[in-house]
Structure 1
Amino acid sequence: MRLVTLNVWGTRGDWEARLPVFQQGFRELDADVLTLQETILTDDVDQVTAMLGDGYHLAHSSERESDGQGITTASRWPIGEVRELDLNVTGRTGDFACTALVTEVLAPFGTVWVANHFPDYQVDHERERCLQTALVARELEKLPGHVIVAGDLDAEDSADSLRFWTGRHVIDELSVCYRSAWEAIHPDERLETYVEENPHFVDEEWPFRGIDHVLVRCGPRGRPTLPIVDCRRVFDQPGGTPSDHYGLAVDLAEEAR
């Protein structure tokens, strides 16, 4: 199973020039599941279909900003249940379409629950991110089998919200353990997906660099239930960078170790 996550940056910048880069890149990646953030969906614009074509089942968030921006999960395989979780946990979240889509992907080897998680982005909203993360995690704990959390989590590995996902921190008397795909494959290399070297980067002095993640829930022995085979940064090459974020492509095996 190949999963790709990417914040696509809406239709900002030179969208007509960016679109064919997305189209070619997604064809080459040939992902089974994609978690996409900052996707535009209006009566006139279906950005995800424009990028991916017609070969995917789509789950769109209903939580969207005035320009139609939200999140979308795409699956080559059929989709079952879709749950959208309201992440407006404090009065400070009202100016941003923070949300989470939990999608039941009916893969050939069994059900995989994929949480497209898009919490608050503001640098001083780690409290909100922690509350949002705990809310999502509690819902995921109710689900059996394989669970993946992927998206623009707007926090680095050292943040409490990320340390929580990987079993290193407790939030609201809850603890879980997911394996970071990047950490599993690149244990000594810093994750960097939102960096000023990107030609579309517009936020000067932004302190967080490794903010896009793929996390696989661990089983009773502490191993991810879907073994992580590979994790690499994508859409990061000169001439092939259509977003202000770089993405991640993660290959997962079907059999647990």
Structure 2
Amino acid sequence: MTRLRVLTLNVWNTRGDCAARMALINAELRRRAPDLVAFQEVMPGQLDQLIAGTGLHGTDQSQVSMAAPPFADRYGGTAIATRWPHRIVEVLDQRGTDAPDVPWLTLAAHVPLPDLGEVLFVAPTTSFRLDMEAARERQVLALSDLDARHRTALPTIMAGDFNADPDTAGIRYLTGRQSLAGRSTHYHDAWEVAGSGPGHTWSTDNPNASEDIARLVRQPRHHRRLDYVLVGSPHAHPHTLAHVVDARRVFDEPSDGVWASDHYGVVVDLDLGVIH
């Protein structure tokens, strides 16, 4: 078995005390030493600051997309970082007439793992508005199609900010609890397997989130789990396995008065292996 650490974090673009937050994120990445990282709301040029000195290899959506989506200059985009040099296999634009304001592209990469072969690592972000579950349903269907196009023998790993609760149709579809458009799939929700408690990642308990929650939700006490690490199903990967060993929140406390982001991150330890 090979231990693999996966981390996802929405870094909140340049809001707040950006320099202090970037330094805090970088220090925690050095300490946690993840192998696969999905970032959301990364501004062009920020990725180098985030992963400096970590040994990670990074790709920002601005490096691989043909054109910048609207609002990316304000809200940033998706980026990934991996312990081993990766190869981007697809960049998926999840905008549509039902979701014209999604500046975050989905990145899909093949990452070579020593002695195991390549794994597909997918870093999505879906529509953020409370009333856009129909768009998110379309977007998660597109994610499962993307996986089918590029999956390898090893279980696919998908990590990001899905802007959706566990009981929404899109997340229920991804975790095999309901069908959409006559289709079904299955991924393990790492938090459900090995996390403790509700695992809220966007909360009024975080002062960085309070302003946006007040503007977008308009409720004084709001807590949701929006950030996920999902692991491919044994039905799609019958000859390999990825045991979820541990799942926990990170960046969920201030350091010297600084909160890293408006989201808490999620870090997951997996044991990957081949079934003989």
Amino acid at match of 2:33: D
C-alpha distance after superposition, 1:56-115 (max 9, x if no partner): 2222223441337100011111112431112123x1322231421111111112211011
Q: CA deviation at 1:222?
A: 9.4
Match in the other structure for 1:19? 22
Provide the aligned C-alpha RMSD in A: 2.1
97-106 vs 189-198, which moves further: 97-106
Normalising by structure 2, what TM-score?
A: 0.85
Match in the other structure for 1:233? 249
Are 1:148 and 1:216, in contact at CA under 8 Å, matched by a contact in 2? yes
Are 1:59 and 1:103, in contact at CA under 8 Å, matched by a contact in 2? no
Match in the other structure for 1:85? 92
C-alpha distance after superposition, 1:154-212 (max 9, x if no partner): 001000000001001111222111000000013x7212000000121121236561000
152-161 vs 94-103, which moves further: 94-103
Consecutive unaligned residues in structure 2, runs of 5 or more: none
Distance, in Å, in 2 between the alignment partners of 1:248 and 1:162 is 16
SS in 2 for 1:3: strand
Distance, in Å, in 1 between the alignment partners of 2:93 and 2:184 is 21
Are 1:98 and 1:120, in contact at CA under 8 Å, matched by a contact in 2? no
Amino acid at match of 1:9: W
Deviating beyond 4 angstroms after TM superposition, the runs of 4 or more aligned structure 1 residues are 221-224
Residue 38 of structure 1, aligned match among 24, 41, 46 = 41
Distance, in Å, in 1 between the alignment partners of 2:104 and 2:73 is 13
Distance, in Å, in 2 between the alignment partners of 1:191 and 1:122 is 21
1:179 equivalent to 2:188? Answer yes
Distance, in Å, in 2 between the alignment partners of 1:136 and 1:173 is 16
Identity of aligned residues (%): 30
Amino acid at match of 2:250: V
1:51 equivalent to 2:50? Answer yes
Q: How many residues align?
A: 251
Q: CA deviation at 1:24?
A: 1.1
Normalising by structure 1, what TM-score?
A: 0.91
Consecutive unaligned residues in structure 1, runs of 5 or more: none
Distance, in Å, in 2 between the alignment partners of 1:83 and 1:222 is 20
The equivalences for 1:149-168 within 5 A come to: 149-168=158-177
Amino acid at match of 2:14: T
Are 1:99 and 1:119, in contact at CA under 8 Å, matched by a contact in 2? no
Residue 133 of structure 2, aligned match among 126, 135, 140 = 126
Amino acid at match of 2:11: V
The equivalences for 1:183-198 within 5 A come to: 183-186=192-195, 189-198=197-206
Amino acid at match of 2:233: C
Higher helix residue share: 2
